[in-house]
Structure 1
Amino acid sequence: MKIKVLVVDDSAVMRAVLAEIINGAPDMEVVGSAPDAAVARQKVKDLAPDVMTLDVEMPDMNGLEFLEKVMRLRPMPVVMISSQTAQGSETTLQALELGAVDFVTKPRGSLTGLPPAYVQEIQEKIRTAYSARVRVMRGVPTPSPSPGASALARPGPSSPVATSAWGDRIICIGASTGGTEAIKEVLCHLPENVPGIVMVQHMPEMFTPSFARRLDSLARVIVKEAEQGERILPGHAYLAPGHSHLEIRRSGPGYVCELLQTPPYNRHRPAVDILFNSAAQHARSGAVAALLTGMGKDGAQGMLAMRRAGAWTIGQDQESCVVYGMPREAAQIGGCCEVAPLTQVADRIMAALQAGRRIVAQA
């Protein structure tokens, strides 16, 4: 049985392009299309699609408003079709908060002769959405607090938590599909007095600045995009920019960020394996790692390398993953010291850090 897809986009040309891409796959078909939310609402009822692709920006009722109604009244897997703009990236992140499984950026320029990789990306994300665990959201996303308000609760440069109390400890996090909300859940439950955090989320470069700002407005730690040669400080989280791999390297008693524009690894740049392998080499037992929801196997081998080097490694469990791919691969090859629900990952990170700190103190 083929995956039934409903295409919702105000552009007739884009609807035709998506229909051609989707119908070109042997395991899926477009059962209907709609130019706006009103038509889409009726077709959802009439056609009962398995997956819906949804344009972010539409007339009358935009994609966010329609998505909120769909996820409240008839939850289903949704893949957002987003423009590559700052406004489009912010809206897409809000859509992921509302329960969309994933997003695809609209191609720039001509819609004819699209690269095979783009066609494959759309088809794969529809397949992933079809098998994903749909999160049922109640209500709209909570407005982000102002940067000034969140900064008041943070430690300043002279605060005790900005010292080297954690020694050479570091936290590494990797995620893909469903990861924007998973990373937010973990970061927002970590205290400000934690070791430096380095993170990889599979995401295009236009979206990582918005994602970092959004996390920064919500978490108690300071969140930013990683920069080349930047020192990794306690109480800070560094997100790999969408254009580069992120590694860590030792520098004195701590670590610095290294950005690499080498070819994609595991078909991704940034790749979780690149980060985790560098942590296995340079941080060894000083690291704690969490591998969260995501399609594929990126991060699994790196997590195994970290565990073998003495790091404590945590995999998100199947029940709480949007897509149980990357953590499953890590667990199957023995890369996870433990497996935990998403709501417990932050606590498990802190427990591992406290245990490690006691060991250091006794040495």
Structure 2
Amino acid sequence: MPPRILVIDDSAVVRTALAQILGRVGMLVETAGDPIIAMDKMRRQRPDAIVLDIEMPRMDGLTFLQKLMREDPIPVVVCSGLAGPGTEVALSALEEGAVDIVTKPRLGVKGFLEDSAQRLVHVVRAAVQARVRARAPVAAARKLSADAVLPPKRPPVIRDTTHKVAVVGASTGGTEALRALLEAMPPDAPGIAIVQHMPEVFTEQFARRLDASCRIEVKEARPNDRLAPGRALIAPGNHHLVVRRSGALYFVDVVDGPPVSLHRPSVNVLFRSAAQAAGPNAVGVILTGMGDDGADGLVELKAAGAHTIAQDEATSVVFGMPKEAIARGGVHEILPLPRIAHAILKWTV
């Protein structure tokens, strides 16, 4: 049975464009101009996934998402503007249970969506496979966490001897998996380089939000940033992230280039560079996500002497990337998400 997708957006142009793009690959698409109309349609036919605008009349998308996740969880992809307040609200939607983000500009929407059709289809297909669970709204809890006073962060430690590093790749469901992983890290955790499949513009704000809630420094990577203990570097959207070694220290480069494994940034690019630069001084981790990006790179890391970890199926929103890495023989350990931080620390002390 083809997947049923409900597109909720107050723009008729967006609704038509999304319906055409998803319909061309065999999905059955219904549309609604706002969440009130959507809820009526959902009572008659439950969709397999929802593509949800944030700014809408009568009920905003975030309120609708909170209600949905509390009462009848369905995988949701947020359709958000590229700049302004929409960026922050879209990231809040991920915290509330949305599985991914697709972007749209304020002008030239139809053409933009057509140009981004491949990513759109990939994201919605992943959402159809996603496992989402009922959850209470987390906005209040996140505000309390943000208001809490964390101990001052120590500057990254630059040692004279070659230190251990961790490289992490994630896609669908990865934003909250990364939050859980990084919030568990102590101030002297190893340097961590991260690829999270996420559109351009969102990665910088995502890093800032994590930095506010973690004991380590979290930032969007810049060229020549040091990969040092107490610091996590997140690949900027639409750029690859590469690890390199200089003497006893590790650095990252942010590079252009074609998509690899359909993605830019690509987990495979990060893992392969770490295999070459760090080898046995690295730990590779592959988290929740659809597809196979990172699977071959994790095999190369393991062959280079790195310790490799995959998130297990039970705690993955989509068990695609970890499953492929396991099937190709690239994984030493398969662990539930709450145990991965401890395993990284075990292999990097």
| TM-score normalized with structure 1 length | 0.90
Q: Which of 281, 297, 305 is the aligned partner of 1:302? A: 297
Q: Does 1:25 align with 2:25?
A: yes
Aligned to 1:143: 142
Unpaired runs of 5+ in structure 2? none
Q: Which of 298, 306, 324 is the aligned partner of 1:311? A: 306
Q: After the TM superposition, which residues 1-363 of structure 1 pair with which residues of structure 2 at under 5 Å, given as runs?
A: 1-26=1-26, 28-31=27-30, 33-107=31-105, 109-113=107-111, 117-141=115-139, 142-144=141-143, 145-146=145-146, 149-150=149-150, 152-156=151-155, 162-164=157-159, 167-354=162-349
Cα displacement string for residues 27-49 of structure 1 (whole angstroms, at most 9, x for unaligned residues): x1123x22222222222222212
Q: Distance in 1 between matches of 2:160 and 2:39?
A: 55
Asked if the contact 1:166/1:195 (under 8 Å) is kept, the reply is no
Asked if the contact 1:86/1:207 (under 8 Å) is kept, the reply is no
Q: Distance in 2 between matches of 1:114 and 1:208?
A: 20
Q: Distance in 1 between matches of 2:272 and 2:94?
A: 29
Q: Distance in 1 between matches of 2:51 and 2:89?
A: 15
Q: Quick one: structure 1 residues 224 and 147, their matched pair in 2 at CA, closer, same or farther if it must change by over 3 Å?
A: farther
Residue type of the alignment partner of 2:209: R
Q: 1:289 is paired with a residue of what secondary structure?
A: strand
Deviation for aligned residue 1:136:
2.4
Deviation for aligned residue 1:131:
1.2
Residue type of the alignment partner of 1:309: A
Residue type of the alignment partner of 1:81: C
- When Rg is computed on C-alpha atoms for both structures, the one with the higher figure is 1
Residue type of the alignment partner of 1:12: A
Q: 1:346 is paired with a residue of what secondary structure?
A: helix
Q: Quick one: structure 1 residues 156 and 333, their matched pair in 2 at CA, closer, same or farther if it must change by over 3 Å?
A: closer
Deviation for aligned residue 1:140:
2.7
Q: 2:251 is paired with a residue of what secondary structure?
A: strand
Deviation for aligned residue 1:260:
1.1
Residue type of the alignment partner of 2:305: G
Deviation for aligned residue 1:82:
0.8
Q: Quick one: structure 1 residues 166 and 34, their matched pair in 2 at CA, closer, same or farther if it must change by over 3 Å?
A: farther
Residue type of the alignment partner of 1:208: T
Asked if the contact 1:147/1:217 (under 8 Å) is kept, the reply is no
Structure 1 segments of 4+ aligned residues over 3 angstroms from their partners: 111-117, 144-150
Asked if the contact 1:245/1:259 (under 8 Å) is kept, the reply is yes
Unpaired runs of 5+ in structure 1? 355-363
Cα displacement string for residues 135-161 of structure 1 (whole angstroms, at most 9, x for unaligned residues): 3221233335559934x332257xxxx
Tell me whether 34-43 or 221-230 shows the greater mean CA deviation: 34-43
Deviation for aligned residue 1:77:
1.2
Deviation for aligned residue 1:250:
1.0
Deviation for aligned residue 1:276:
0.8
Aligned residues: 347
CA RMSD of aligned residues (A): 2.0
Q: 1:57 is paired with a residue of what secondary structure?
A: coil
Q: Distance in 1 between matches of 2:64 and 2:161?
A: 46
Deviation for aligned residue 1:122:
2.4
Q: Distance in 1 between matches of 2:185 and 2:19?
A: 44
